[in-house]
Structure 1
Amino acid sequence: MNSEPPAEANALWAQKSKLEQRYQIVLDRTTPHTTERWVFTGVALLIYFIRVFFAQGWYIVTYALGIYLLNLFLAFLQPKFDPSLEMDMQADAAEEGPSLPTRSDDEFRPFVRRLPEFKFWHSATRSIVIAFFCTLFRIFDIPVFWPILLLYFCILFTITMKRQIRHMIKYRYIPFNVGKKSYGNSGSKIFK
């Protein structure tokens, strides 16, 4: 018996592998260009909204896209290691009795995101492209009263962001680099 796959399957597998490599090369080249990547995503989202506005449809797809982007944004804002769980572990350790200190409250701890910026951008852009692709087919244009979806999304966004901001205030973390010092060549000629 011949246990080797057919030549067509090997050729298809090779083409798939080559396309994946090209896609990864493009992603690797776009990694350092943060501003340009987000401008591209913003333009893609604007084109998508214009398409939905003029076509007067695909509100369910738009609602699903909004929920998914909100979920990504929340994962982007949250720390990788939840401080509330760390507080619970410290409280449990305090109940067991005295122990050696393992962490100082003044110790510098950098903010590590649960969802890194590049993965956030990549997932958001991919979801916008998929949603735009869905607008090409009438099967995804389910009739719905869109103001209810918009109202529900606004309420969901408000409640979710309110809870996230309270969490940020309670555990004193800021997910953005506000007022960060720059150590690069800032145009000053102090050492010249």
Structure 2
Amino acid sequence: MNGPMAGGQPQGGPPPNPLQPLQQRLQVLLDRSTPHTLYRWLALAALLLVYAIRVYLLQGFYIVTYALAIYNLNLLLGFISPQVNPELEGPTLPSKADEEFRPFVRRLPEFKFWWSSLKALLMGFAATFFPMFDVPVFWPILLLYWFILFFVTMKRQIAHMVKYRYLPFSSGKRAYGKNGKAPAKSNK
């Protein structure tokens, strides 16, 4: 048979993916969880607590935990950084009070931050079931080094925020008065 179907199988295409129904179900769950930001982060915090208890009870897997913390620090930096780096492409945020307000656009959106953190935490949790990942280390040194790395990185990031005058967190959309200007803040 020289037709497109020989023996009931399509010719020339990739083989069918047996995991496709599972991937589709996962995508539906992710799509449904998107508007529920608080519940997603609470679930991540609960899973992190279970992971911390497991590591504490096992008294090991400090390298896995350290790698997890470094990865999440990197994700946090992407979350609080602007999508366009003003050092490389010039300031895109308003630099004067009379310029048009443009919202802060993150380099790493909140959902991707959560999803990447969740996947990393699940991989770290799975690694605690394999003794080969339990490398003996003196954990206080790792903890001290992580805190130093965190503070140095955040100091640099905050200096960047001050220099280019942006704030990655806002409390909502600005409300403008009749004259088109934002209302002045009162000192009550």
If the length of structure 2 is used for normalisation, what is the TM-score?
Answer: 0.80
| Separation of aligned partners in 2, 1:127 and 1:73 | 13
1:71 counterpart = 2:74? yes
Greater than 2 Å deviation, 4+ residue runs: 1-7, 12-15, 178-182
Q: State the partner residue of 1:152.
A: 145
Give 1:181 deviation, angstroms.
Answer: 5.4
Say which of 133, 140, 161 aligns to 1:168: 161
| Residues 71-111 of structure 1: CA deviation (Å, up to 9, x unaligned) | 000000000001122338x9xxxxxxxxxxxx984121110
| Residues 51-84 of structure 1: CA deviation (Å, up to 9, x unaligned) | 1011100000000000000000000000000112
Structure 2 unaligned spans of 5+: 176-188
| Separation of aligned partners in 2, 1:131 and 1:85 | 35
| Separation of aligned partners in 1, 2:57 and 2:8 | 48
- Structure 1 residues 174 and 140 mapped into 2: Cα distance closer, same or farther (>3 Å)? same
AA at the equivalent of 2:19 = K
The answer to whether the 8 A contact 2:95-2:165 is kept is no
More deviation in 12-21 or 55-64? 12-21
- Structure 1 residues 104 and 173 mapped into 2: Cα distance closer, same or farther (>3 Å)? closer
Say which of 9, 21, 24 aligns to 1:21: 24
Between Structure 1 and Structure 2, the one with more helix by share is 1
The number of aligned residues is 166
Identity %: 55
| Separation of aligned partners in 2, 1:160 and 1:128 | 22
